[in-house]
Structure 1
Amino acid sequence: MASALGAITMVAGFIAFTETFQSREMDRRLLLAGYPRLPILLAKLAAVALTAALLSFYTTILLWISLPVRHAAPLALALAGAGLAYGGIGLLLGSLVRGELEGFFLIIMLSLVDTGLQNPVFNTLMDVAGVSALPLYGVNQLALSSTLTPHIPWSHGLLSLTWSAATGALALLVLHTHRTSRSPRPRRARVQAG
């Protein structure tokens, strides 16, 4: 389960980061041309959500075939939550870092540390404080419970959706502040006034 979550986090994070990083110039041109900012930002969020949903569907089918999964719907929700959380992190890093190498490195390291600390084998060997504050805590608990036990901890699913909403909102805020729109209209008004 930890490797499935790790794969989803990296793929969703890479896709969101690459799209955001490479579209900087195009977004700037659209904003300078007067295109509204909100549709650009919502399109990025929709792309992250679609990516997370497709990855979740594909991975749930593979796990259903290869493991004795008791509850497929909560497992799909957990996997989608992981994709949404790291997709939001990818959006955020795509706006903040200066180079692709830095972004890929940060996504890889965040994902490896997060999935490593969530691994039940590692977690039983040593008590790691603060593990419940990590993005994959809720999705990991929901995924493991839905796969291995008859009990479904829906509250952990809500925790994963909270992380997804928080990373998405923070990414939108950074995208909004870092990509200022300079409409040609105020420039003309200043030229005519001067």
Structure 2
Amino acid sequence: MRIRLDAISTPVSAPASQAGQVASALGAITMVAGFITFIETFRSREMDRRLLLAGYPRLPMLLAKLAAVALTAAALALYTTILLWISLPVHHTGPLVLALTGAGLVYGGIGLLLGSLVRGELEGFFLIIMLSLVDTGLQNPVFNTLMDVAGVSALPLYGVNQLALSSALTPHTPWSHGLLSLTWSAATGALALLVLHTHRPSRSPWSRRTSAQAG
């Protein structure tokens, strides 16, 4: 099959099975990373609230959640890259790892955000599944060889999809497209931290001193 990748501005010939494996790997990572971070964030709401009310610092808790997202994304990317390297003639392993890690970071941040916003687990799972299916489905080269759907470049996985397909199936490495995933990761992570910051109570020494004086 022939695939047109915006990242390298030229059609690429590749077996449909190989292109499908790369696209499926991205879809699997997005769902797993999104589910893990969502369920952890959702179920730890009450514990986080108790820790903050007991005086535990807010910043270390928020940074720990971001570190957990990063470690989850990296572990999933390494595991998936090994599987792809065994089954495919991968051209550039390093960029492929970065692309898959970026996919995990983006949807890990989305899971972190939804875990702080939605009221039930069902809503969170539904949103992650639908967003992931739309994101990966519109960019799956097996279903859409030209990938020229209007607005596809605005999707969260556009950059990592271009980098992953190019790195796995061609001699080219479009590093600039990998930066798009970092932008999405930073945006979702920052928004999730903002929501966590505003939705969790604070019992810092200053607030406790102020409330004691007011009493």
TM-score by length of 2: 0.86
160-169 or 66-75, larger mean C-alpha shift? 160-169
Give the whole-Å Cα distance in 2 for the aligned partners of 1:185 and 1:129. 55
Structure 2 letter corresponding to 1:176:
H
Structure 2 letter corresponding to 1:159:
L
What SS does structure 2 have at the residue aligned with 1:68?
A: coil
Q: Give the corresponding residue for 2:170.
A: 149
Give the whole-Å Cα distance in 2 for the aligned partners of 1:151 and 1:32. 52
Q: 1:126 Cα shift?
A: 7.1
**How do 1:23-172 residues align onto structure 2 when only pairs under 5 Å count?**
23-124=44-145, 127-172=148-193
Q: Give the corresponding residue for 2:198.
A: 177
Q: 1:125 Cα shift?
A: 6.5
Q: Give the corresponding residue for 2:3.
A: none
Give the whole-Å Cα distance in 2 for the aligned partners of 1:66 and 1:185. 61
CA offsets, 1:76-118, max 9 Å, x none? 0000000000000000000000000100110011101100011
Structure 1 letter corresponding to 2:50:
R
Q: Give the corresponding residue for 1:186.
A: 210
Q: What is the identity percentage for the equivalent residue pairs of Structure 1 and Structure 2?
A: 87
Structure 1 letter corresponding to 2:77:
S
159-168 or 120-129, larger mean C-alpha shift? 120-129
Structure 2 letter corresponding to 1:180:
P
Q: Give the corresponding residue for 1:21.
A: 42
Higher percent of residues as helix: 1
Q: 1:120 Cα shift?
A: 1.5
What SS does structure 2 have at the residue aligned with 1:114?
A: helix
What SS does structure 2 have at the residue aligned with 1:121?
A: coil
Give the whole-Å Cα distance in 2 for the aligned partners of 1:173 and 1:126. 34
Give the whole-Å Cα distance in 2 for the aligned partners of 1:52 and 1:33. 31
Q: 1:124 Cα shift?
A: 3.2
Structure 2 letter corresponding to 1:94:
G
Give the whole-Å Cα distance in 1 for the aligned partners of 2:210 and 2:118. 30
Distance 1:187 1:104, change over 3 A: same
Note the residue ranges of structure 1 that are not aligned, 5 or more in a row.
none
**How do 1:3-14 residues align onto structure 2 when only pairs under 5 Å count?**
3-14=24-35
Aligned residues: 191
What SS does structure 2 have at the residue aligned with 1:124?
A: coil
Give the whole-Å Cα distance in 1 for the aligned partners of 2:147 and 2:186. 30
Give the whole-Å Cα distance in 2 for the aligned partners of 1:125 and 1:74. 22
RMSD: 1.2
Note the residue ranges of structure 2 that are not aligned, 5 or more in a row.
1-21
